[in-house]
Structure 1
Amino acid sequence: MKIFKIYIPVLIVILAAGCRKDPKLVAPTDVYPTNGYPKTISDLQSVLVPAYSNFRSVGLWGFELMPKVLANSTHTANAVYGGDQAWNEMTNNNLSISNNYVSRVWASLYTGVKNCNVVLNAADFFEQNYATDNDKAMIDRIRGQAYFLRAFYYFQLECFYGEAYIKAGGANGDKKGVPLYGKFPADLESTQIGRSTTRETWDLIEGDLQKAAELLDGVNWTGNDQGRVTEWAAKALLGKAYVFTEDWANAKTVLLDVIQNSGKTLMSYEKYKDSFIGNKASEFNEESLFELNIDGDSKGNYGPWGNTPNATNLPGVVWAPWSLGGNGTEADGFPLGYDNESIHDQNVKRFGYPLGYYNIVDNPDFDASKPASYRNPEKVMDPAYKAAALAVRANKTADPRLFVSTLQPWLDSVRFDGANWAPVSKPRYLIGQQQYGFSFRKGANILWNLNAHPEQPNNIYFLRLADVYLLYAEAAKGSGDNTTAVEYLNKVKRRAYGYPVDAPSPVDYTSLTDNTVAIDDPVLGNNPLYYERWAELFNEGHWWFDVCRWRIGPSEAAYYGTALNVGGAPFTFNESKSYSWPIPLGEFNSNAAIAGQQNPNY
């Protein structure tokens, strides 16, 4: 938003250079002139590209937001690395106004807003000066995408930084939202604006999504364009916005339209299980409404964490699963990336895993005539325990989504060198401790070692039909239709257990207060709506918003207890501040109009 602060000095340098022909002094090479560009649809498409590519900014989904921010804030991860104070603040849900992750998310999301406003400005310019009648339809498609993406960025900004969620009947609508830039700032003065109300913020989000749905009506992207925004993505996010503001009537109408008319269906469990590990065959599937399309590259050096800013996404570097060592021991095990995080034990129990911790014993099948190796280990998981663990899977005693989302030591495998499969190991830093030691699977890389080949082509889902079903269930509950709410929760659960989605099954809930499989969980243990959103969307970047809008922070802190990176100290949760992130200090230093508008208790 402070683009003019950057380019005014650049323009001074250019003018001072006169007619010298050194290319470095002629003009900025990363901006386009606004007096004659865009002149073609192709030009206008090029202006749209940064609105999409911004998703992979270092502060957002391709890098920091998922593994360092959200996985720790929600305690999906048990992080071993305690040397990053900002990271530790995320784990404790006790943020400072100078937290660098908070600042980068803010800056990256507003860069996305800026990019979208540039597109809308460029579309108007092109239509007024160069477009032909044949260009009108494509101009509107480009506008539709820009409106959706701007709404998406503002949706995230409001959920992270807004003071409070709007409640049924409009309560909290006068609380502080975020600064709204409805158009590209014409000068430095117009960048100086204060925070709008939460109602004004959600009105802009909903209005943009309504425009996007109208402009993209009937558009069907194919081939290389299939990752673009559609009418149904816009309606799905609009329905989500209505749920998040407890506008139950509008939510039900819009979400049911998506369910009945988008042509989307829940994929089979078999396909679902392999849709989060970089399987190209599962991309843009029958359930996907909007996903971040990522092609792997091999630029190396850990992307922006290693001074290679244009590398592909790398959450899997932080979420790296562990492989048994070459000599067949856990002590010699190694991660397929960094060794920063494993799955927090309480998540294993929340998925209903009923067994205690395993022991390592002598391998009854060890062949002493051959060297010890991961194929011929001297020690193994207790065979009796392994048999019981396999029975848990076969009998679906635990939620099968546990094994979609995580990797279990000794029972699951990773292709540690890109060719050979070895059993998953408990992380070395957990050996000797009473810990399950599960690794990440959903969103991670299990097909090669990212240390040797830093390339992760996993697409990231932003919206899929299962989320829509769960939102529709919540809207039905909010409007008093509990029967419909239970049925849509059951549709999602049936898929997870391998039953037909639309027929009654043995695992169905009978009420909205029925028991779930969550073990020793006073909140999710008898709340199917909460549990299903947690289990189905585990580690997909949604749970933090649910925790905040339902205000269950203290119970989450009590359930998870502690983490390694905070030295085992008990989690706390400050309800007077922790549901909202602080407005970054840098914004107060550059935007005079926001003075005095910090979130409470920061």
Structure 2
Amino acid sequence: MFKKLIIITIASICIIGCSKDPKDISQKDKYSSGEYPKSLADLTGILGAAYGNYRSSELAGFQLNCKIFVNSEHAADLAYGGDAGWTELAFNKLSVSNGNAQDLWRGLYVGVKQTNAFLERATFYEKNFMAPSEQQMVNYMRGEAYFLRAYYYFLLECFFGETYIRNGQGGDKLGVPIYTEIPKTLAETQQGRKTVREVWDFIINDLKQSASLLDGAVWSGSSKGRASKWSAKALLGKAYVFTQDWPNAKTTLLEVINGSGKTLMPFAKYKDAFNGNAANEFNEESLFEINVDRVAAGYGIFGDFPNKNLTTTQGVIWAPSCVGTGGTEDGGDNTLGYSNEFVHDKNLLRFGFNLPIYTLVANPNYNPAVPASPTNTPQVMDPVTMNASKAMRANKTVDPRLYVNALQPWVDTVKMGGVLRPVAKCSNIGGGIRQFFQGWSFKKYQTIDDNVHAYNAADASNLYILRLADVYLLYAEACMNSGDNPTALEYINKVKRRAYDYPVNTASPIDYTSLTAATKATDANLANNPLRYERYAELFAEGHWWFDVGRWRIGAGEAAYFNVLLPTGGASQWSEARSYSFPIPFSEMSTNAQLTGQQNPGY
């Protein structure tokens, strides 16, 4: 995101978001589509809206990560049962009227609309107002728009496309509708679904144009979050992997590895790189990230319209639970937000944490002469579990990334109201079943230095969209499928070495010895598959695993592994014929005649 940029100007709203012809607005000198934009700053405001849309409530501003991704892939268990659509996500059985899917579709196509608006207005500005000295910057900005449009379509296709291309098959199935310009008539809004192959070709072509146009662009200062040639190349390589074009994937990703100047950040930085530390933003590993600043006029992204904040509000959902003012796990101010979700217990086992559920015992250091408090608790975790937990961390028998991703009750701490408090079991797990859950809180992308409401529900952690660890693992996958197993194994091990704080480029004691070596996981999907395990562990809760599940077709195994799901305590309602794709929303099917007969299978 443009750092500190107010991303939606009144002028860009009128061009991009209004149904009325802007020429009908009385202040024609400001709003007429025949006169706007008049300056490079005006044009930048239109592009900013395309960036900022990713932080809308329909997308990462609120529900994309903390609802759609983590519930679909079971990173989270749902401790809140008051939203039927949310529960459908958790059980992998969406209805055609699911509100989350409908919002996702709308939010992504708004992003497409905004990029198309920019491209139209860039051409207008170039013809009417651009100074010759501005040509290079306008071309750079076009490159950014092509990158953003490709990313919005990338998400649309991965969520709503009928299938992925696998073993050369599936390209003739249904993808998503493609809009290359803003519709000017009702008929132009009525677009049917393109084929899967056509959509991926469109994405790939946009990314090629983006990389070419952005060649030479170097962003710094307040612009350092803007998309670059290497952002486009990284996503292009990912698109090649997702379509199993192994030769192009291998070449493109290696170009990113060798030419971007990026390196894996050291573990000392990595362990805190997801929790709002400004010193870690736009770091040596990041290829593209969305800027998030803890600034809110009212209530996070919901504070005003158009929202001018550079924040997100997903943290209220994921917020950790902690020991309350009275020194107990329950009652009073014992959450840093809503705490609607917690890390599904089966994920702990996958990272190698296999201790039984803890019990609470009398605190030998409790002082009854003073009031109980978070620093003077009547009870603590039983010492056997506490000592074993600390030992597992110290000797790394548990994957260290578990503690980057999650917070362990009574072992980890968070701060609220200036007081350091032990983390507690997720407060919203029903009292009758609490004893059956570990209830760890999420750490990644969370506010852990106070209640999120102390900051008006504004998050502070930048969101990584593309980083080098992802590229390394994608490159390993391309090498493995091109017959280059030694290189594949080495790049998988580079990612693992960083996680265990070993030098990245030197063999280490924790290296996998083969592509079928044992991992920390014990389930059939991941136990002897280092590539899958490393993508799972490294990118946990970052919005990648759901797509990996889909393109590898391992959903049935995932559903069987996670088994019991809250809020109902039932089993996943997984269907191989239906669950890999979200339904085209009923609202879209009912208003777009060209979609008749084009719903995804099983809906």
User: Structure 2 length normalisation: TM-score?
Assistant: 0.93
Conserved 8 A contact 1:346-1:560: yes
Pick from 452, 470, 494: which aligns with 1:467? 470
- Shift of the 538–469 alpha-carbon distance from structure 1 to 2, 3 Å rule, reads same
Provide closer, same or farther for how the CA distance between residues 553 and 32 of structure 1 changes in structure 2, counting only shifts above 3 A.
farther
- Structure 2 residue 598 is matched with structure 1 residue 600: no
Aligned to 1:297: 295
AA of the residue aligned to 1:124: T
The one of 489, 495, 499 equivalent to 1:496 is 499
Tell me, in whole angstroms, the C-alpha distance in 2 between the residues paired with 1:265 and 1:124: 37
Partner of 1:323: 322
Query: Cα distance, 1:39 vs. partner?
Result: 2.1
Q: State the 1:451 CA deviation.
A: 2.9
Q: Deviations over 1:37-91 (max 9, x none)?
A: 2222122112211110100111101211111111111111111111111101101
Provide Cα deviations, 1:402-421, integer angstroms capped at 9, x if missing partner: 0000000111110112x221
Aligned partner of 1:21 in structure 2 is: none
Q: Residues 104-153 of structure 1, C-alpha deviation per residue, up to 9 Å, x if partnerless?
A: 11111111111111111111111122222211101101100000000000
Partner residue of 1:380? 380
Greater Cα shift, 572-581 or 465-474: 572-581
- Which position in structure 2 is the counterpart of 1:207? 205
TM alignment of 1:115-154, pairs within 5 A: 115-154=114-153
Counterpart secondary structure, 1:361: strand
In 2: Cα distance, 1:6 partner to 1:213 partner: 28
SS of alignment partner, residue 466 of structure 2 = strand
**What aligned pairs does 1:279-298 form with structure 2 within 5 A after superposition?**
279-298=277-296
Whether 1:46 aligns to 2:49 is no
- CA distance in 2: counterparts of 1:267 and 1:531, whole angstroms: 20
Q: Which amino acid aligns with 1:146?
A: A
Equivalent position SS for 1:78: strand
* Mean Cα deviation higher: 209-218 or 372-381: 372-381
Look up the match of 2:8: none
Give the aligned partner of residue 458 of structure 2: 455
The one-letter code sitting in structure 2 at the alignment partner of 1:399 is D
CA deviation profile, 1:464-487 (whole Å, cap 9, x unmatched): 000000000110111111111111
Give the alignment partner of residue 507 of structure 1, picking from 506, 510, 518.
510
Question: Which deviates further from its counterpart, 35-44 or 326-335?
Answer: 326-335
Question: How far 1:379 moved relative to its partner?
Answer: 1.1
Q: Secondary structure at the match of 2:77?
A: strand
- Alpha-carbon displacement from aligned partner over 1:341-377 (angstroms, at most 9, x marks no partner): 1111001111111311211111122233333222121
Q: Report the more deviating stretch, 589-598 or 56-65.
A: 589-598
Q: Give 1:509 shift.
A: 0.6
Whole-angstrom CA distance in 2 between matches of 1:420 and 1:478: 52
Q: Distance in 2 between matches of 1:274 and 1:425?
A: 20
1:67-82 counterparts in 2 under 5 A? 67-82=66-81
The match for 1:20 is none
Q: Which moved more, 1:581-590 or 1:440-449?
A: 581-590
Identity over the aligned pairs, expressed in percent?
51
- Is the CA contact (8 Å cut-off) linking 1:229 and 1:290 kept in structure 2? yes
SS class of match (1:372): coil
* In structure 1, distance between residues paired with 2:77 and 2:304: 24
* Corresponding residue number in structure 1 for 2:6: none
**In structure 2, what is the Cα distance between the partners aligned to 1:191 and 1:253?**
38
Partner residue in 2 for 1:197: 195
Tell me what 1:583 maps to.
Answer: 584
Aligned amino acid, residue 163 of structure 1:
E
Q: CA contact under 8 A between 1:334 and 1:427: conserved in structure 2?
A: no
Equivalent-residue separation in structure 2 for 1:300 and 1:488 (angstroms) = 45
Q: How far apart, CA to CA, are the structure 2 residues paired with 1:552 and 1:28?
A: 56
Cα distance change on mapping 1:231 and 1:327 into 2, 3 Å: same
Q: Secondary structure at the match of 1:322?
A: coil
Whether the aligned pair in 2 keeps the contact of 1:89 and 1:95 (CA below 8 Å) is yes
Q: Could you list the runs of 5+ residues in structure 2 that have no partner in the other structure?
A: 1-13
Give secondary structure in 1 for the equivalent of 2:447.
coil
Amino acid at match of 2:325: G
Matched, 1:552 2:554: yes
How big is the shift at 1:300? 3.6
Aligned residues: 584
Deviates more, 1:35-44 or 1:482-491: 35-44
1:433 and 2:435 are equivalent in the alignment = yes
After TM superposition, give the deviation of residue 27 of structure 1 in Å. 6.8
2:220 corresponds, among 211, 217, 222, to: 222
Conservation of the 8 A alpha-carbon contact between 2:323 and 2:424? yes
> Matches of residues 88-99 of structure 1 in structure 2 within 5 Å?
88-99=87-98
Q: What is the correspondence of 1:10-29 to structure 2 with a 5 Å cutoff?
A: 10=20, 26=26
| CA displacement at 1:306 relative to structure 2 | 9.8
RMSD: 2.1
Match of 1:574 in 2: 575
Q: Is the 8 A contact 1:266 1:466 kept in 2?
A: yes
Using a 3 Å threshold, how does the CA distance of structure 1 residues 596 and 61 change in structure 2: closer, same or farther? Answer: same
Deviation at 1:26, TM superposition (A): 3.4
The letter of the residue matching 1:572 is: Q
- 2:446 partner letter: A
Secondary structure at 1:334 match in 2: coil
The question of 1:353 aligning with 2:321 is answered no
Q: Distance in 1 between matches of 2:171 and 2:401?
A: 37
Alignment of 1:411-426 (within 5 A): 411-417=411-417, 419-426=418-425
Structure 2 partner of 1:404 = 404
Contact 1:82 1:88 in 2 (8 A): yes
Provide the rounded CA distance (Å) in 2 between the counterparts of 1:325 and 1:334: 4
1:57 aligns with 2:56: yes
User: In 2, are the aligned partners of 1:300 and 1:455 still within 8 Å (CA)?
Assistant: no
Shift of 1:600: 1.1
